[in-house]
Amino acid sequence: MTITTKPLQSVKKFYFLDYFLILLQSIEKQSQREGVFDVFKILKQKHRLGESKYKKLTEEREPLTERQQQRYRYTFKQVVEESKDYGLIEESNEGLLTLTDEGGRLLKDYEFHGEIKFNRSVFKLMEERYNAFRILLEFLYTANPSRSGVLIFPHYSPLELHFKRKNMQTTGDIVRYTEKLKEKLTDDINHYLKRLVNLDDKNEEILGKLIKDGVLPKKESDSFNSEDYNKITKRIRDFWITYFLKDLYRSPYTMSTFELWIYRARQIGIIHATEIYPTLNGKLVYPTSVIVEHTASPDFASIYQYNDGKHLFLHFPIQESFQEKFVEALYSGYVTLRRYYKNYFINLAALREIVCHNLKISSQLFEHYLNEAYRLNLIGELGIRISLEVDKLPEETNAMYLKHEPVMVDGSYRNIIAIDLAKGEENE
Amino acid sequence: MNKLLKKPKQPLPSSQQGRYERFYLTENPFPTEPVNKDSSDRRINGEIYEKDIRVKEYTQIEEAFLKQPQSDLNRLRLGYISDTSYIGRGNGKSAFLVNLMRKINQDYCLDISNDLNKCFALYVTPEPGGRTKRFASFVDLLFSSILQSKIINTCLALIRLDAIIIAYPDIDVASLFSNEEELIHCLSSPSDLSERGIEPSQLTDTISENEFLQVLPPDFPLSAKRRGFLSRFITEEDFINYFKRLKNGKEKIDFIFSHMVYLFMAAGFNGAYILVDDFERIPDFQSGRDRKDFAIELRSCLLDGPYVNARYGFYNMFLVLHAGVPQLIVDAWSSSGLGNRYPLMPKVDASHLVIFDKLNREHISMLLKKYLSTYRLEQVECDDLAPFTPAAVSLIAEINENNAAGILMACRNLLEYAANDPSQTIIDEDFIRNKSKDLEGDDLGKSPIIDASNTTDLMKKATEK
């Protein structure tokens, strides 16, 4: 039994680990709380940090609105509290913020060793306090032991089931959508989890809730308030995700706590979570680390030791032989996607998801190995020829957040990949 | 005797319908692959092409480029065909370009320009693997597309033809050859010429008087200064060998942008169009420095460098840019000065920038009709879109976000599904809805892609002894 020193739920909000960095950097420059907040705001925009798990696409140049200010201040307050909790900063009675020795050490970590080292240091502080990552990892492995802790959370928006927004007016329309959704989810549960379930009651439950709360009119032919459309679809979505989490996987945690910690874990490379896995509508979550006392495999790196003697081992293969395995996985993933989309050019982010899932590695490692493979490719020492293209730049989309985090190769972001088997005689 | 008299118990039916016959088609008309101009399959090589879809784009090119007299040195020499949509791939740009090339080469632009211009067109695609990174490799690429287009053979033939007219004024040239192909073939073979009473060596003397050949370097094939006892019969092979001997850089650039220009002019051409497809394959692999160097070279060769081409503006170039590419090269373009002459993102409509729009619903019907009519059974009367209903076409277009390649692929699959089901004679909305799972590839891709069997079992890996 794992004993937590503090309940997981006491952290209320997700933010990137980068937030700890920019807070420490702000306090290094300023100590008056207001002054710190001012620098924090500037750095936040510079690092393109949003308020969600996606980074922003562009820097916001316009002055902040009152509401934004409030949101920023709330985030700021949370990060300050959590940092105090970890002993990274101190606040005097006069409201002056200063770095502790530990805080100063972490900043040095960042300066000399970069982001990975910094994130791992923050991770250690978090784990000492919450044991959160261990609890999560153990939950994943218990929830789906036969598939190495891979959990799926399928979901389909009305549009994905071919219900157009403009045709969604009445309770009847929503009922037709949830019926179709129910069928799809039943299929998915059968397909992925090999379980037969009847979701009729659950479907009734969510519809009943929406009607009881007055969001949907009782009569099928009555129209609902069109402004509530997003609210309705979000509630349906959250309902089913909670169903997967609580009923199917028996998670002890709520959806928001679960989400918050898996995305934190992703930044450290402990767990991978994605919403863009090809052919899967919804989210895929799986561990890229294990908790055991000892491992004989050289492909793991211990980043934390618990009191009971167990370690948290990251799957972190750095042997040269792994490069070959990576290239194999890259090529076979590419071929699968090419066959599927019948297109020579494949979305690199989609390929990343396949390779990460097959090899159970983090996206950071994927990027590392892809860069290496690309370098070998350019000097002609690879069995395949890789072509990477930019196509549309992320900055050009209207979207505000970067849902498909791009992959950085050879110093620039790439979105599209094509691979050929190199021909022997072309080795000039 | 018995075996001769006996009949099988299950004879084949006397009237067996073809697989696509009930859809009034001879074959599945839709392509399996993207455009490849060298394929022999009409569905793939861009031959099935509905020109009406791209009238706007074509007219702009015709007005701003093809119809402008090449002798006007201030006309446009560089154009961009720019795609704005995110799903730019498979929007028909390659098909458009291949057909533009064919249209120009069909009558060497004489018909389009009202005999003002005689131009040929080349289709160029950079290597997908990033090999076309520097201008030098781009020049190599230009030479290989010159070879591919067989324009050298044509030019040699034309030059000889002119010489025959001068040296043998009594011969009626037109009666010697039955068609253009035969003409080019004959004029490329000394023995064929001799057979027709024309002495190749006598032609060489006449050819050497061609004004454009006077200024070529002495070792250039067909150079006027190369005469004497070396007056061999020059073929394409001589050009290949000559090019191989040239050094990368200035020598090869001079060859393509000066000497070959003279050769083309000697053959009677006054211009050429170089259509560069998938241009982003070049800058994608370039560093900022590479891009700038490339842009400077391009500017120098096209506009104001010490090359014959820059003086005459012989080559006109079109670059096909996918969405996002202008941003990628805009810095290099502006620092090289190319951006001032031909801005990548002009503030107002500019005739050098051809915007390649997304298809609309009407275009899509036209496109499908074109494919269907090409494989339609003879002498049947049916709707142009049959077996697809108009509503079905709208739905297919919607599912595929009006992307031409996606739509063609969906139509191909739907027709296959329908062919497998003997009761199906039309493809309507309901049929598509039923099959839309497969169209999205759910069934096809799900299992192999998220299959657990070929993935790493991390816990097992960590705990194995």
Read out DSSP for B217-231?
-TTSTT-GGG-GGG-
Contact between B368 and B411 under an 8 Å Cβ cutoff? The reply is yes
| Residue B213 per-residue DSSP state | G
Q: How confident is the model at residue B206 (pLDDT cuts 50, 70, 90)?
A: confident
Buried b (16+ CB within 10 A) or exposed e, A97-132: bebbeebeebbebbeeeeeeebbbbbbebbbebbbb
Q: Return the pLDDT at A398.
A: 47
The answer, yes or no, to whether residue A60 has pLDDT greater than 60, is no
> Can you read off the two tokens belonging to residue B102?
């064919």
Give the count of alpha carbons within 13 A of A362, CB side only.
Answer: 24
**Taking residues B189-216, what's their average pLDDT?**
82
- CA B392 to CA B429: how far, in whole Å? 5
> Can you read off the two tokens belonging to residue B310?
């820059």
Cβ distance A343 to B405 less than 8 Å, yes or no, reads: yes
**Taking residues B170-198, what's their average pLDDT?**
82
C-alpha distance from B139 to closest chain A C-alpha (Å): 18
Q: How confident is the model at residue B398 (pLDDT cuts 50, 70, 90)?
A: confident
The answer, yes or no, to whether residue A100 has pLDDT greater than 80, is yes
With a CB cutoff of 8 Å and minimum separation 6, the contacts of A374 are: A386, A388, A409, A410
> How many CB pairs (< 8 A) connect A and B?
126
B429 three-class SS: helix
Q: Return the pLDDT at A362.
A: 94
Average pLDDT, chain A: 85
- CA B77 to CA B74: how far, in whole Å? 9
The answer, yes or no, to whether residue B445 has pLDDT greater than 60, is no
**Taking residues A350-365, what's their average pLDDT?**
93
Nearest to residue B187, comparing CAs of B121, B170, B220, B176? Answer: B176
Residue B69 contacts A, CB cutoff 8 Å: no
Q: Return the pLDDT at A428.
A: 33
Cβ distance A148 to B455 less than 8 Å, yes or no, reads: yes
Residue B433 contacts A, CB cutoff 8 Å: yes
Instruction: For an interface test with A, give the residue of B281, B411, B449, B465 to mutate (most A CBs within 10 A).
Output: B449
**Taking residues B233-246, what's their average pLDDT?**
89
Q: Return the pLDDT at B127.
A: 82
Q: Return the pLDDT at B59.
A: 92
DSSP line for B49-79: --GGGGHHHHHHHIIIIITS-TT-TTS--EE
Q: Which helix (H) or strand (E) holds B141?
A: helix B135-149
CA B304 to chain CA centroid, Å, is: 28
Q: Return the pLDDT at A244.
A: 94
Report the percent of chain B where pLDDT is more than 90.
26
Most confident of A263-267, B202-206, B376-380: A263-267
Contact between A325 and A144 under an 8 Å Cβ cutoff? The reply is no
Could you give the strand order of the β-sheet that contains A151-154, starting from the edge strand earlier in sequence?
A151-154, A282-287, A271-274
Residue B430 contacts A, CB cutoff 8 Å: no
- CA B120 to CA B102: how far, in whole Å? 9
**Taking residues B320-341, what's their average pLDDT?**
85
Q: Return the pLDDT at B87.
A: 55
Residue B289 contacts A, CB cutoff 8 Å: no
Nearest to residue A274, comparing CAs of A158, A162, A150, A181? Answer: A150
Q: Which member of B34, B433, B459 has the closest CB to residue A290?
A: B459
- CA B357 to CA A134: how far, in whole Å? 53
For the stretch B4-30, pLDDT in tens is: 888 888 877 766 778 888 888 888 888
Q: Which member of B325, B444, B463 has the closest CB to residue A295?
A: B463
**Taking residues B348-373, what's their average pLDDT?**
86
> Can you read off the two tokens belonging to residue A201?
């009651």
Cβ distance B129 to A386 less than 8 Å, yes or no, reads: yes
Burial class (CB in 10 A: 0-12, 13-18, 19+), B92: buried
Q: Return the pLDDT at B249.
A: 87
- CA A416 to CA A418: how far, in whole Å? 7
- CA A301 to CA A71: how far, in whole Å? 38
Instruction: For an interface test with A, give the residue of B399, B456, B464 to mutate (most A CBs within 10 A).
Output: B456
Nearest to residue B78, comparing CAs of B351, B397, B461, B431? Answer: B351
Chain B segment 77-106 residues within 8 A of A by beta carbon are 86, 88-90
Least confident of B94-98, B225-229, B302-306: B225-229
Contact between A99 and A89 under an 8 Å Cβ cutoff? The reply is yes
Q: How confident is the model at residue A175 (pLDDT cuts 50, 70, 90)?
A: very high
Q: Which helix (H) or strand (E) holds B433?
A: helix B429-439
For the stretch B134-169, pLDDT in tens is: 899 999 999 999 999 999 999 998 988 888 888 888
**Taking residues B177-203, what's their average pLDDT?**
83
With a CB cutoff of 8 Å and minimum separation 6, the contacts of A391 are: A345, A415, A416, B88, B89, B280, B322, B323, B324
Cβ distance B128 to A386 less than 8 Å, yes or no, reads: no
Q: Return the pLDDT at A396.
A: 44
- CA A73 to CA A75: how far, in whole Å? 5
**Taking residues B330-347, what's their average pLDDT?**
85
Q: What letter represents residue B196's amino acid?
A: R
- CA A300 to CA A314: how far, in whole Å? 5
Say if the ipTM goes beyond 0.90. no
Cβ distance B450 to A192 less than 8 Å, yes or no, reads: yes
The Cα diameter of chain B in Å comes to 95
For the stretch A250-299, pLDDT in tens is: 988 888 889 889 989 999 999 999 988 888 888 999 999 999 999 999 99
pTM over 0.80: no
The answer, yes or no, to whether residue A153 has pLDDT greater than 90, is yes
Q: Is the dihedral of CA A11, A15, A17, A22 positive or negative?
A: negative
Q: How confident is the model at residue B447 (pLDDT cuts 50, 70, 90)?
A: very low
- CA A336 to CA A342: how far, in whole Å? 10
Chain B residues touching A192 at Cβ < 8 A: 450
Cβ distance A289 to B449 less than 8 Å, yes or no, reads: no
Cβ distance A358 to B455 less than 8 Å, yes or no, reads: yes
Average pLDDT, chain B: 84
